[in-house]
Structure 1
Amino acid sequence: MNGMDVSRLGVLRLGVAQLINWGVTFYLPGAFGQAIADDLGWSGQRVFAGLSVAMLVMGLVSPFVARLIRRLGARQVLQLGALLNALGCCGLASCQSPVPYFMAWAVLGGGMRLSLYDALFAVLAGLLAAKARPLMIQITLLGGLASAVFWPLGHALNEVLGWRSGLGVYAALALFSGLLLSGLPGIRVDVVHRATETDGVTPWQRQAGYAMGMMLIGFMSAGLSGHLPTILAGFGVPVGLVALWGIGQTTARLIQALLAQSVPALRLNVWVGAGLTLCFVMALLSQQWAWLACLFIFGYGAMNGLGTLLRASLPFELFAHDRYTLLQGRLLAPGFLVSAGAPWFYAMVRESAGDRGLLLLSLGISLVLWGVAMTLRWHCRGTSF
């Protein structure tokens, strides 16, 4: 299809590359954050502020990703992102003071924006329009296991090699992910649609609803992900069971793949808002019941996994298909910028209000997200492109 490898092997390679790049970037603080803080004598706020820097860079470069794909080609952009991820991990492994630490995270931010789902899905949407949705789901089935693989892997590497050498292994894995993409063709301007936007073509309510919903999901995910292992430990649950988060993500995406397109994205958006609210209610009640904590982490992983799919699939129901790449890049940028403060903010809340404070904060965000999703569905009812 227009030169894009969408065979089973191609989907497998893309899925494994996503699993690796999510694991060595977004889930890195959950694996090595405490070890870095203990070794360098830093506070949790400072350590998790690194991910904030990365999210800030993601927001700043987001509007330019579509242009970069058109100029360099899809494969080249994805491989450049993997290379930046490797360089960022090496930078973290060698840092001794805050400035090099945050510079390394800035490099990781650029790599994350170029290597993770959003850049890849923009290419698939430009190629196949709505037909890309099943491929997106298949790719995320592997990518959703990143936390289940890399949190235990990171803890094991830290125990055996120390966090600096462990990050060196992460860098090597990032380079390997780039090699997985080497057989995929580059896709340039003739495939990724150009769109000239004029205000009013896409109702501002749809743009605002999509941007707000994705911003809330991203803020909560960026802020909470690094603290989940310690939260579970506080519930008396073995750290290894944090893998339920990744298993929940993949299970939910597999169910979505089996349902195909029988569940509209707008309806699924409402379900995710309600599901997240229920998950954090369970978490607040789970201090005395470890099984309820396990159900929470599985359910939260499932809802987070569906949230990632919504970021890719909602635009097909909200915007004209030839405007997907342009609008998604613009509308996700504010969410990345706001999410930049999430790791630092969540670390501050945890130090002042403990794990319960984090869960209450997340419950509040979930309620707002649920309201935004219902409002967006009400606005779009009876209208379509």
Structure 2
Amino acid sequence: MTKNLPRAPSLHKTSVPAGIVSALGLTQVIGYGTLYYSFSILAPGMATDLDLTLAEVFGVFSASLFIGGLSATYIGRQMDRIGAATIMTIGSALAALTLALCAWSPSIAIFAVAVILIEISSGMVQYQAAFAALVESDPLSASRSITYLTLIGGFASTIFWPISAALSVYLSWREIYLVFAGLNMFLCMPLHYWIMRVGKTASNADLAIRTRETIVGAIPPHARRRGMILVSFAFALLGFTLAAILAHMVPMLGSIGLGAAAVVIGSLFGPAQVLSRLINMVFGKNLSPPELAVLAAVLIVLGVLILLATGNWLPGAVAFAICLGLGSGINSIAQGSLPLYLFGSDGYGAITGKMAAARLAVGAGAPFVFAAAMENIGLDFALLANACLGVISIAAFVAVAASSRQPATPTG
């Protein structure tokens, strides 16, 4: 029977693994930038090259997100079994190979298969896996490490939206994907391998200590199933709301009359993500993960409503991008810290894998559904429907906050 016992503080207990966080931060910027954010910029070129409509290209993207989401549960179990950093190392190689396959694809069928494999590899290298790697590295500092990691990762869209747009002037989408494949193979994979080796060395050095270090969840055992369903539902709806906007953000802003300013406004999303994480790191210590999740959902919905109300008014579009970025930044922290807070560190990979599967499976249709909605019922109605889904997620997170008891505590 595990008892809570007072223990003397130690540097190991309170320190943040800075080297691991920094390395993961760089790989998250590249992983999200090359495997996710670049798609909306390169999609028009893909459509022209493959003789598809833009909606059909996003239909392939949505299908890939759905299948990638289904794989998240299996990936999460494997992270618990062989280690998150090992999965990330394999995932980087797979990401590089599938980007190259997509770049080569001579037919629509091979293109579709490649995009699906890209999204499966994404689940092996992006936040779900990175958070699990931090929990494995040190459960007691993991929540703080997640905040630092997302602080760095928030630059992904800021860096890769402009990079993708600039490269598309000189290179085809196929050539750009080959460049991105090189980044994953020759930069991300060695860093993930290094993290894997560091983790194995540390585990061998103090295995006896680490096996006693766990986090006890705030939800009692008898309520875990209900809590899992409610949290997964809330993140899934909010994920749909956010994915629908992000997949079309720059083209959407351009379509309402903002022209070249659309890229600049879209680029504010990344700094706003970073700003929200920095504010949370400095001033948000008294906010619990459930409260952070509620705040994230409120900010995202507020951003959508601002764009709906202001249209092509430049200050309104700027406020939209900033609110969306603030909400997305906090949401990323909540995705890592809320499961740890509610359910503890034991089986963290499997828990987050199940939640990611629900979030990604529901959000998979967002790019296609939102594109179809814009084409058939107009942007205003599409944004309004999106905001309504976000409001439901707010209510679900409030229910989660009400159902959790005292904050998670370490055991030993």
1:271 to 1:12, Cα distance in 2 relative to 1, 3 A: same
1:173-192 maps to which residues of 2 (within 5 A)?
A: 173-175=183-185, 176-186=187-197, 187=199
1:222 to 1:162, Cα distance in 2 relative to 1, 3 A: same
Task: Return the offset for 1:226.
Answer: 1.8
Distance 2:142 2:294 in 1: 22
1:74 to 1:200, Cα distance in 2 relative to 1, 3 A: closer
Task: Return the offset for 1:77.
Answer: 1.4
Q: Which residue of 2 aligns with 1:142?
A: 152
Distance 1:253 1:96 in 2: 42
Does 2:291 align with 1:267? yes
Alpha-carbon contact 1:148-1:245 (below 8 Å) kept: yes
1:344 to 1:334, Cα distance in 2 relative to 1, 3 A: same
Task: Return the offset for 1:108.
Answer: 0.7
Question: Could you tell me which amino acid in structure 1 is paired with residue 191 of structure 2?
Answer: L
Task: Return the offset for 1:82.
Answer: 1.3
TM-score w.r.t. length of structure 1: 0.90
Please, which of 6, 14, 22 is the counterpart of residue 12 of structure 1? 22
Question: Could you tell me which amino acid in structure 1 is paired with residue 158 of structure 2?
Answer: A
Task: Return the offset for 1:181.
Answer: 2.7
Alpha-carbon contact 2:268-2:322 (below 8 Å) kept: yes
Alpha-carbon contact 1:58-1:336 (below 8 Å) kept: yes
Does 2:379 align with 1:379? no
Task: Return the offset for 1:118.
Answer: 0.4
Distance 1:335 1:380 in 2: 21
Alpha-carbon contact 2:77-2:350 (below 8 Å) kept: no
Does 2:133 align with 1:112? no
Question: Could you tell me which amino acid in structure 2 is paired with residue 30 of structure 1?
Answer: S
Aligned to 1:39, the other structure's residue is in SS state helix
Task: Return the offset for 1:329.
Answer: 1.8
- Measured on the aligned residues, the alpha-carbon RMSD in Å equals 2.6
Please, which of 38, 63, 73 is the counterpart of residue 53 of structure 1? 63
Q: Which residue of 2 aligns with 1:256?
A: 280
Q: Which residue of 1 aligns with 2:330?
A: 306
Distance 1:137 1:383 in 2: 17
Distance 2:80 2:342 in 1: 24
**Alignment length, in residue pairs?**
380
Does 2:234 align with 1:234? no
Q: Which residue of 1 aligns with 2:142?
A: 132
Task: Return the offset for 1:111.
Answer: 0.8
Aligned to 2:278, the other structure's residue is in SS state helix
Alpha-carbon contact 1:31-1:152 (below 8 Å) kept: no
Q: Which residue of 2 aligns with 1:211?
A: 232
Aligned to 2:286, the other structure's residue is in SS state coil
Please, which of 243, 264, 284 is the counterpart of residue 222 of structure 1? 243
Task: Return the offset for 1:363.
Answer: 0.8
Q: Which residue of 1 aligns with 2:388?
A: 364
> Any gaps of 5 or more consecutive residues in structure 1?
none
> Any gaps of 5 or more consecutive residues in structure 2?
1-10
1:95 to 1:295, Cα distance in 2 relative to 1, 3 A: same
Does 2:103 align with 1:93? yes
Alpha-carbon contact 2:344-2:408 (below 8 Å) kept: no
Aligned to 1:102, the other structure's residue is in SS state helix
Aligned to 1:371, the other structure's residue is in SS state helix
Alpha-carbon contact 1:126-1:325 (below 8 Å) kept: no
Task: Return the offset for 1:324.
Answer: 2.7
Alpha-carbon contact 1:205-1:376 (below 8 Å) kept: no
Question: Could you tell me which amino acid in structure 2 is paired with residue 240 of structure 1?
Answer: V
Please, which of 167, 171, 176 is the counterpart of residue 181 of structure 2? 171
Distance 2:60 2:124 in 1: 18
Distance 1:302 1:85 in 2: 28
Deviation per CA, 1:211-240: give whole Å up to 9, x if none: 011111222232221210012213443123
Alpha-carbon contact 2:30-2:156 (below 8 Å) kept: yes
Q: Which residue of 2 aligns with 1:81?
A: 91
Task: Return the offset for 1:366.
Answer: 1.2
Aligned to 2:132, the other structure's residue is in SS state helix
Alpha-carbon contact 2:79-2:132 (below 8 Å) kept: no
1:125 to 1:216, Cα distance in 2 relative to 1, 3 A: same
1:100 to 1:288, Cα distance in 2 relative to 1, 3 A: closer
Q: Which residue of 1 aligns with 2:267?
A: 243
Task: Return the offset for 1:75.
Answer: 2.9
Distance 2:19 2:214 in 1: 29
1:129 to 1:165, Cα distance in 2 relative to 1, 3 A: same
Distance 2:89 2:154 in 1: 20
Alpha-carbon contact 2:17-2:145 (below 8 Å) kept: no
Question: Could you tell me which amino acid in structure 2 is paired with residue 300 of structure 1?
Answer: L
TM-score w.r.t. length of structure 2: 0.85
Does 2:364 align with 1:343? no
Distance 1:166 1:205 in 2: 45
Task: Return the offset for 1:38.
Answer: 2.4
Higher Rg of the two aligned structures = 2
Alpha-carbon contact 1:236-1:290 (below 8 Å) kept: no
1:177 to 1:381, Cα distance in 2 relative to 1, 3 A: same
Q: Which moved more, 1:200-209 or 1:239-248?
A: 200-209
Task: Return the offset for 1:70.
Answer: 4.5
Please, which of 348, 353, 360 is the counterpart of residue 329 of structure 1? 353
Task: Return the offset for 1:78.
Answer: 0.8
